[in-house]
Amino acid sequence: MKKRSKRYKEILKTAIKDKKITAKEIIDLVKKNSNTKFDESIDVSLKINLKQSKGGDLSLRTVVNLPNGSGKKSKVAILCEPDKIDEAKKSGADVVGSDDLIEKIAAGKFDFTKLVCTPAMMSKIGKHGKVLGPKGLMPNPKLGTVSENISKAIKDAKSGQVEIRNDKDGNIGVSIGKKSFNDDNLIKNYNAIIDTLEKEKSNNTVKGDLIKSLYITSTMGVAYKVKMEKNI
């Protein structure tokens, strides 16, 4: 059995077994119990229903632009044609390149956290999916990381855009901000996640409710089960 720290055991005393409370109440509780020396992330963990009315399992993958950002800094790379490099630099990209950047990627010599690509470069970068895919860095039009609009794509990537993606068991984990955020900003970010999931449900043929359970926690804290205001 995993040995828990004294701090964790003290926080655990505030957990209310089998009682669900609202997201707003939980965020207040999680922040009060966060007494570490660093700015902990406030995270949402979900279990979703994978069953679809037409058969087969749901595979959910989309992005959410958190209205108040995630509190995490992203190092954004842009892969584009040579004549667009100046535009990419002026738009705030941290790493900019064309064929030279592809060579670095092929060699595994990169440290960016997000990669944006123009459509014209997709045929070249597609060959390196085995390098980028496992790291979650492969550009994808659905995620807004393949775009002609370089400026907007970079802005979105840097302004708190987070990815929602379920694993094979239907689990999703996503950060809605930091302990240092005020409660209202965290709630607005949380609502952006819920609104996106509601739209995703309407776009798919989910059999029954999409969200089976939802918890909010901090990096080093206890998870609290959320009382949903409505079934989604």
Q: Are residues 31 and 141 in the same domain?
A: no
For residue 215, the domain's CATH number is: 3.30.190.20
Q: Are residues 44 and 81 in the same domain?
A: no
Q: Are residues 144 and 114 in the same domain?
A: yes
Q: Are residues 132 and 167 in the same domain?
A: no
Out of 139, 158, 177, a domain closes at: 158
Q: Are residues 59 and 109 in the same domain?
A: no
Lowest mean pLDDT among 1-15, 100-114, 122-136, 149-163: 1-15
> Tens digit of pLDDT for each residue in 65-119?
999 999 988 999 999 999 999 999 999 999 999 999 999 999 999 999 999 999 9
Q: Are residues 60 and 169 in the same domain?
A: yes
Q: Are residues 115 and 182 in the same domain?
A: no
Q: Are residues 63 and 176 in the same domain?
A: yes
Query: Is the model's pLDDT at 219 over the cut of 80?
Result: yes
Expressed as residue numbers, the domain containing 128 is 76-158
What's the number of CA atoms in the CB half-sphere (13 Å) around residue 82?
2
For residue 104, the domain's CATH number is: 3.40.50.790
> Tens digit of pLDDT for each residue in 160-195?
889 999 999 999 999 999 999 999 999 999 999 999
Write the burial class of residue 112 (CB in 10 Å: 0-12 exposed, 13-18 middle, 19+ buried). Answer: buried
pTM above 0.75, yes or no: yes
Q: Are residues 94 and 150 in the same domain?
A: yes
Total domains present in the chain:
2
Q: What is the average pLDDT across 141-166? A: 91
Residue 172 within any structural domain of the chain: yes
- Give the span between the Cα atoms of 178 and 168, in whole angstroms: 28
